[in-house]
Amino acid sequence: MRSVAKWEIFEESFQLKEKLDNPFVEVDLSARFYTEGAAYTVDGFYDGEDVWRIRFSPMHEGVWRYVTRSNKPALNGLTGEFTCTKAISRGPLVLNPQFPNWFFREDGEAQLIVNDGWFPHTANGHELPFEDLEFQQPSGSDFNRFFDILADHGVNMVVGMSELYARQSSITDTSFVWPWRIVDAEKNLIDKERFNLEFYRRWEDNLAHAAKRDLFYAFELLYDNSLIRPREWNNHPYNEKNGGWLTSDPGTDVCWRNLFDVNNEQSKKYLGRYIRYTMARLACYRSVLWEVGAENANLAVLPERMLPKALMPVERVAEWYRYWARYIELHDPYGRLRTFGDTTYHPLMVTAHGNDFVLTQDPRNYPRNPLAYYTAMRDYGSLYWQFCRPMVIGEMTSSNNGNYERERRMYWIGMTSGYIMGRSDRHFAPMCEDGLMESKKFDIEGIPVIYEYLRILREYVEKNVRFWRMRPANELVESKGLTCTLAAEDEEYLIYFVNGGSVELNVPKGRYRLLDPRNGKIVQEGCCEEGAFKFDAPASDNENDTDWVLHIKAEGFDC
């Protein structure tokens, strides 16, 4: 009997020798997998050359059996079995209702997430060749090399911004875009009735590689931002002029109404079919999360000249997101986590069923002064903590590329403010022959130092901090200078000095450590008695050497 480890992938293939006009739509195939006390149904999918497949990721050890169902007699009633053995991983990301603001793993343990953010995506058309709009898109091997660099430095999350991102006027790599079959790459023309096998096979390899490196990828399923940008909408596969099914008038009320209409039969047909096919092929990968939308914060900041708010109230957008999140839920047997995308601070979007974790950007009205920006991002933690779900920054737009000292501070501010930071927006391909394109852009030898800073953060926090029990608690500390405090009161405190200063707080009897976030070294440590505790951060004439991490633990919780 075949065997598959818990949370890994069992696959069975079948052949159907029958002349078909469109095998993607003419054949219905599903399989019911069952074991003692559990049963799940998964869709099968067409994979070219008369081959259909079913995939399943078992959640319980023991013997599993399956039976197929199909409208084709040759594929109906087929049976098989396999044994699910002990796990070789900690499983997918899940939520824990006891500690809802942090991620956990299926094995029950908390998972610290260090997020790279939105995958470096198509350029804005800047001065360097690889920032040009029509620059060659990254290959599947580029993705895997990028994942390796991230994983080697402790980064374990990437957020998709490529699957439906429509900046290029022609298709430079048919495995990169689109999910639908490419009819004419030069004209960006698709066949909405059939899927792009090359695209999905690439993603299968990328998600398998991500799982191997214990890295999670938020796969962008639906992308709405292009509707507000005529250039992008002109290139988008939803657009009827490119073979899609929606009106080609960008920014008009007709275009908006058609997209954000849960009763639009054309969208229900084509998006529904696309989501089911994607679930059938990719939901089994434990590395995947579902990014239902992306950058939808732009919908909330549109100028009135582009779209009067009366034409597109947020209630209608939220209803659309809830509809498709529910659709995903019904067709994903594993319950992979979902996010609506860039929700900004809108309770109707943030708290909706189906928005399992918050994905957003830094504030759109962020202050330009660095200290004011740091303060605003510290307060972001308390602002979003009330929603009781993990919060992830897709990109920080005020921290310029190449300013790694500022980025280091931003990641520690996020950590000690109860959320997960993302890197600066990078509008260029991720890899070149020599390594990261970012290194080439900023004339850096080797890997940018930010990734070493992120490795230090993850290694220290995972080994020493019970972060999942902690919350943003700046009110517990009196400080001179800007500090951020994460605490489980009377148990543990993690205090970040953004630019030096001093703190006073009441602590239990225990021990303290001072971490240098630049090199991971403990530069001070000692005992503290119960009661008032005052600490002065080391001073420095170099502004890049003024941030420190103070870690205090009560007696019995060793540092």
Per-residue pLDDT of the chain (559 residues; tens, 9 = 90+): 999 999 999 999 999 999 999 999 999 999 999 999 999 999 999 999 999 999 999 999 999 999 999 999 999 999 999 999 999 999 999 999 999 999 999 999 999 999 999 988 777 767 788 888 888 888 999 999 999 999 999 999 999 988 888 888 899 899 999 999 999 999 999 999 999 999 999 999 999 999 999 999 999 998 767 766 778 888 999 999 999 998 866 555 667 777 888 999 999 999 999 999 999 999 999 999 999 987 766 665 554 544 555 455 678 888 899 999 999 999 999 999 999 988 777 788 899 999 999 999 887 677 778 899 999 999 999 999 999 999 999 988 766 678 999 999 999 999 999 999 999 888 888 998 889 999 999 999 999 999 999 999 999 999 999 999 999 999 999 999 999 999 999 999 999 999 999 999 999 999 999 999 999 999 999 999 999 999 999 999 898 999 999 999 999 876 6
DSSP bridge partners of 52: 14, 46
Q: Which two tokens stand for residue 99?
A: 């500690």
Distance of CA 114 to the CA centre of its chain: 11
Same fold, 3-85 and 112-466: no
Report the distance separating Cα 476 and Cα 495, nearest Å: 11
Q: Which CATH number fits domain 112-466: 3.40.50.720, 3.90.640.10, 3.40.50.300, 3.20.20.80?
A: 3.20.20.80
Amino acid 168: pLDDT: 87
- Enumerate the β-bridge partners of residue 180: 195
The predicted pLDDT at position 519 comes to 98
Contact 195, 277 (CB under 8 A): yes
By the 8 A CB rule, do 349 and 314 touch?
yes
Q: Please answer whether residues 267 and 261 qualify as being in contact, where contact means their C-beta atoms are separated by less than 8 angstroms.
A: yes
Per-domain boundaries in the chain = 3-85, 112-466, 473-554
Per-residue confidence (pLDDT) for residue 252, from 0 to 100: 59
The model carries a pTM of: 0.96
Cβ contact 485:493 at 8 Å? yes
What pLDDT is recorded for position 444? Answer: 93
Report residue 363 as tokens: 């504030």
Q: Which phi and psi (to 5°) does residue 464 adopt?
A: -125, -15
CATH architecture group of domain 473-554: Sandwich (2.60)
Fold of 3-85: Immunoglobulin-like (2.60.40)
Secondary structure (DSSP) of 76-134: TT-EEEEEEE--SS--SEEE-TTSTTSEEETTS-B----EEEEPP------SSGGGSTT
462: left (phi over 0), alpha (psi -120 to 50) or beta: alpha
Residue appearing with tokens 């991490």: 549
